[in-house]
Amino acid sequence: MRIVAARFNHETNTFSPVKTPLEAFAPLHGQAALDFGRGSATAFGAFIEYAEAEGAELITPLSATANPSGPATAEVFEALAGPIVEAAQGGCDAILLDLHGAMVADGIDDCEGELLARVRAAAPGVPLGVALDLHGNITPRMVENCDCIVGFKTYPHIDMFETGRHVTRIVDAMLHKGLRPKMALSHPPILAHTLKMNTEEPCLMTDLIAAARDGEARGGLHAATIFGGFPIADLAETGVSIVTVAEGADAAQDLADDLARMAWEGREGFVYDEAPLATSLAEAVRAADGPGEGPVLLLDHGDNCMSGGTCDTVDVLRAALEAGMSGIIAGPICDPETVAQMIAAGTGAAIMVDLGNKVPLPGFAPKAPLTLTGTVGQISDGTYVVSGPIYTGQTCRMGRAAVLETGGALVLVTELPHEPWDLGVFGCAGIDPIEARFLILKSRMYCRPVFAPLSRALVECASEGITSSNFDLFPFEKLQRPIFPLDRDMRWSPGRNT
Per-residue pLDDT of the chain (498 residues; tens, 9 = 90+): 999 999 999 999 999 999 999 999 999 999 999 999 999 999 999 999 999 999 999 999 999 999 999 999 999 999 999 999 999 999 999 999 999 999 999 999 999 999 999 999 999 999 999 999 999 999 999 999 999 999 999 998 989 999 999 999 999 999 999 999 999 999 999 999 999 999 999 999 999 999 999 999 999 999 999 999 999 999 999 999 999 999 999 999 999 999 999 999 999 999 999 999 999 999 999 999 999 999 999 999 999 989 999 999 999 999 999 999 999 999 999 999 999 999 999 999 999 999 999 999 988 889 999 999 999 999 999 999 988 777 778 889 999 999 999 999 999 999 999 999 899 999 999 999 999 999 999 999 889 999 999 999 999 999 989 999 999 999 999 999 999 999 999 999 887 543
- pLDDT, residue 446, reads 87
Q: Are residues 282 and 251 part of one domain?
A: no
Answer yes or no: are the C-beta atoms of 238 and 227 closer than 8 Å: no
Q: Are residues 434 and 305 part of one domain?
A: yes
Within a domain: residue 143? yes
Report the largest interatomic distance among the alpha carbons of the chain, rounded to a whole angstrom: 71
- Closest CA relative to residue 423, chosen from 400, 392, 463, 381: 392
Q: How far apart, in whole angstroms, are the C-alpha atoms of residue 176 and residue 187?
A: 32
Q: Give one DSSP letter per residue of 250-290, joined into a string.
A: HHHHHHHHHHHHHHHHTGGGG---PPPHHHHHHHHHHHHTS
Q: How far apart, in whole angstroms, are the C-alpha atoms of residue 108 and residue 65?
A: 18
User: How many CA within 13 A on the CB side of residue 168?
Assistant: 23
Q: How many domains does the chain have?
A: 2
Q: Are residues 347 and 225 part of one domain?
A: no
Cα 143–chain centre separation: 21
Within a domain: residue 74? yes
Of 225, 252, 270, which residue is a domain's last?
Answer: 270
Q: Are residues 216 and 186 part of one domain?
A: yes
Domain of 151, in residue numbers: 2-270
Q: Are residues 415 and 336 part of one domain?
A: yes
- pLDDT, residue 394, reads 81
Answer yes or no: are the C-beta atoms of 442 and 461 closer than 8 Å: no
Measured from the Cβ of residue 274, the count of other Cβ atoms closer than 10 Å reads: 18
Q: Are residues 331 and 247 part of one domain?
A: no
Q: Are residues 405 and 281 part of one domain?
A: yes
Q: Are residues 143 and 94 part of one domain?
A: yes
Within a domain: residue 485? no
- pLDDT, residue 393, reads 81
Of 216, 246, 270, which residue is a domain's last?
Answer: 270
Within a domain: residue 495? no
Mapping DSSP to helix (H, G, I), strand (E, B) and coil, where does residue 88 land? helix
- Closest CA relative to residue 212, chosen from 196, 228, 191: 228
- pLDDT, residue 498, reads 38
Of 237, 254, 270, which residue is a domain's last?
Answer: 270
Answer yes or no: are the C-beta atoms of 102 and 137 closer than 8 Å: yes
Q: How far apart, in whole angstroms, are the C-alpha atoms of residue 357 and residue 334?
A: 9
Give, rounded to a whole angstrom, the gap between the first and last alpha carbons of the chain: 50
CATH of residue 219? 3.40.50.2300
Q: Are residues 323 and 264 part of one domain?
A: no
Q: How far apart, in whole angstroms, are the C-alpha atoms of residue 123 and residue 119?
A: 6
Q: How far apart, in whole angstroms, are the C-alpha atoms of residue 447 and residue 202?
A: 19
Q: Are residues 351 and 321 part of one domain?
A: yes
CA-CA-CA-CA torsion sign (423, 424, 426, 432): positive
Q: Are residues 354 and 206 part of one domain?
A: no
Q: Are residues 219 and 120 part of one domain?
A: yes
- Closest CA relative to residue 381, chosen from 332, 414, 422, 333: 414
Within a domain: residue 398? yes
Q: How far apart, in whole angstroms, are the C-alpha atoms of residue 15 and residue 18?
A: 9
Where does residue 285 rank: exposed (0-12), middle (13-18), buried (19+ CB within 10 A)?
middle
Within a domain: residue 159? yes
Within a domain: residue 486? no
Within a domain: residue 374? yes
Answer yes or no: are the C-beta atoms of 445 and 335 closer than 8 Å: no
Distances (CA, A) of 480 to 189, 239, 453: 8, 10, 40
Where does residue 217 rank: exposed (0-12), middle (13-18), buried (19+ CB within 10 A)?
exposed
